[in-house]
A and B are shown apart, each in its own frame.
Chain A
Amino acid sequence: MSLAIIDARQWQNRFDLESGQQMEKSNPVADMVSTVLSWNPYPGDVDEKANEWVTRTALDLVDQYEPNLVCLSYVQQFFAHRHFAHSKADWEKMCVNAMAEAQKFIEISGYTPVIVGTGGMISLKGAMDLSGIDGLAISSNWSARYCGVHQPSKDDMALIHKFMAEGKIERIVTKEEWIDLFKSEQPDIQIHQDEALMPDYLVVSNEGYTFKTMGTTLRKPVNIPENNFKVPVYTGLGKLDDLRGIKPLVRSNLIHHKIALILVEGVGKEFFPKDHSMCRNGCGWFCNEPGDSFYLTLSTGKHEPFAYPAGYRSFDRDAEITKFPFSGYMLSVPENTLALDYSGKSIAVGNRSMFMHMMFGVDISVECFARNLFNQGCLGVVHRMDKYGM
């Protein structure tokens, strides 16, 4: 049973993470997490101090729990740059500051770093309006490159091809072609959702373009991720050329090192130490955007584009199943994640909401509870009560 501790500022409440049932029970590890939460109110996703909050909270948890593995996400610069325009100098400063926060954590804590960037961002060139098609087009708040199209008519396909002729769309692939692409590299690839709710076609935009469809945000993006087929990774633990190599590298080195796996979102190679390596991110024409497929690839060591596939008709799942109410669109704790079967102690802290308690399989996590930039406080999750005081 995993415990969720909500901190809504000067007020906390405890729940079973999976069922959402309230839990009154007090125990030492839950009380410790409650205390850390109360020390560290979240400043807000785009607040300048949001990354400092990650460092401070992580250091507090390290002091209290003494984990061997720490997973961190620094995301303030990504959120801010996605929604607001910045001068080149200001944007560079934000990236430098995010990397400096990661460095600060390493210096104070003494952990061995593995730092991963999700790659740079680019100004939005335009959005293709597919809202009025006869079929149904679905993109998500956080995806720029991919749009799912369900049951398109001839006219719909003509419109999509028109955008393609204008240089805004890179390719149109059928569901089968999309699945086959990954099967060719990973024959046991899993489709975790109902395949019938996946789109008939995946429409892939050219760099800088995105879609206007159901599911895209009310807050217009100003900058979106580049097509980052390779992303920077900095570590002294060994050579890497694929994101999927991070899990085995971290796990094999945990015997001799205390490791901090740190994600810095929206940041490209120019802000990384010179001796970084560039790692493959995705498969063929499919690159992971900063989001669930990126985090899962990193954490499981496998391609995971179909855990929550782009363009999926998620609203047609039975919403009356109210499992994991604090975990956004995620329906279950993913398998084979980095720390799920690790016997040592592990934590995750970051401003990437539910990814912190779902994606790494750690014992304890602390994350912001912000949705669509609305700051509602923090969430602490204790997955493992048994390791406290070991």
Chain B
Amino acid sequence: MKCNFCEHKCDLTKGKSFCGMYKDEGGKVAELYPDKWCTYSPSRIESVPFYHAYPGSRSMIIGTAGCNFRCKYCSNSFIACQDPADVQDVMFEFSGEKLVTMAKKLGCHNIIFNVNEPAVSLPSLMRVSEYAKKEGIPMGCLTNGYTTEESTLMLAEIFSFVHVGLKGFSNAFYKKYVGVNSIDPILRNIYTLSRHCHIEIASPVIENVNDHELTEIAEFICDINPEIPWHVFRLLPEHDMKESKYPDIEKMNKALESARTYLPYIYFHNFVGSNWVNTLCPKCGAVVIKRFSLGCSGDRLDEFLAPGNVCSSCGTKIAMLGTKVGWCEKREKECV
């Protein structure tokens, strides 16, 4: 009995699975902890960070427990890398319907799954999406992209906007720092997702480890669609890499210079006060969206200067899912 939710394809009859979130139940894959969430809190969409979807909107952030990766630098290891059985006492229990009701109660425009990997909780997320769709609440997520072809399509069915982590560009990097043997499924899935939903891509950069792969990543993104926003994250040394050096900001930024000539939406952040979080018009270079970076404590929209998603200087269309949403817009319209 194999789980087909990610490329580990764990045999569930052989004890605990890699992520610890599924079991074999009469020949079917079943969730061990359905409808259990580690958080539900309102946050700015930029803090996730989605930069090109519903700017300024209020998102309800959710997550579960467990992960199918073991990134050495995981910043959520206290929830993602623990045995899910050990953290159940901190979880909240909400049915899909109740979670959507909560999003409405909190005046949220959308729901974003971003603490751990959605592949480990797909049936619960399916149930949430059923109600979210009824209520017209869009859903987004962060994923490491290690899903199977079938479950990638499930992701695309649940989520209309997806942030995919492309953590390096070699099998060697993925093997050593993430714990999986091949990057191929991730590249395949990025392509698939780009055809079904709005995507943004995030790559953590570790000096002298994967910074030489940045150009290959940029070229790969460009081949799919140069308008895909690419977030390059300065590594925040955490978990097993706590003792690592903080990457040199100027040097890493220089390494992105050539990619900026063919990818118009490159952002370099995950550190406080970054100078590289504004959106510039791809044609005339005017600032069309101003943001403020607070590093991993969350970015925020400062000014949206592209009404109708169009550069007010030259009229060029800015790639965007939806358009600016006021922080209190949803609440004023729908909530008590």
Contacts and interface: CB of A to CB of B under 8 A. Distances in A.
A245 interface: no
Interface string B254-270: 00000000000000000
Contact of B275 (A13, A129, A316, A374): A13
Given A20-B302, A131-B92, A377-B271, 4 more contacts: A8-B273, A129-B92, A218-B39, A376-B296
A81 B223 CA distance: 50
B300 A376 contact: no
A105 interface: no
A22 interface: yes
A372 B331 CA distance: 28
A8 B249 contact: yes
A379 B89 CA distance: 36
27 contacts: A8-B249, A9-B246, A10-B246, A10-B248, A10-B249, A11-B250, A11-B271, A13-B275, A15-B273, A20-B292, A129-B92, A132-B93, A132-B98, A212-B90, A212-B92, A218-B78, A218-B79, A220-B90, A319-B327, A320-B327, A325-B300, A326-B294, A374-B295, A374-B296, A375-B236, A376-B271, A376-B297
Given A10-B249, A369-B272, A374 B297 contact: yes
B327 A318 contact: yes
A229 B147 CA distance: 54
Contact of B105 (A136, A215, A219): A136
B191 interface: no
Interface of B: 38-42, 44, 56, 58, 63, 75-76, 78-79, 87, 89-90, 92-94, 98, 105-107, 115, 236, 238, 246, 248-250, 271-273, 275, 292, 294-297, 300-302, 326-328, 331, 336
A136 B98 CA distance: 13
Nearest to A325: B292
Interface in A289-334: 315-316, 318-320, 322, 325-326
Contacts of B250: 11
User: Which of A11, A151, A377 gathers most chain B CB within 10 Å?
Assistant: A11
Contacts of A325: 292, 294, 300
A374 B238 contact: yes
A377 B272 contact: yes
A352 B326 CA distance: 32
B93 A318 contact: no
Q: Assign chain A's interface to a size class.
A: 35 or more
A316 B302 contact: no
A164 interface: no
Nearest to A379: B272
A214 interface: yes
A132 B63 CA distance: 17
Interface in A355-377: 369, 371-372, 374-377
A15 to B, nearest CB: 7
Contacts of B272: 6, 8, 326, 369, 376-377, 379
B106 A214 contact: yes
Given A322-B300, A369-B272, A8 B105 contact: no
A215 B105 CA distance: 14
Nearest to A83: B78
Contacts of A371: 294, 296-297
Contacts of B328: 316, 318
A325 B44 CA distance: 13
Contact of A22 (B75, B275, B331): B275
Given A212-B92, A214-B41, A376-B236, A8 B295 contact: yes
A315 B106 contact: yes
Nearest to B301: A320
Interface in A184-216: 212, 214-215
Nearest to B107: A316
A97 to B, nearest CB: 21
A119 B273 CA distance: 35
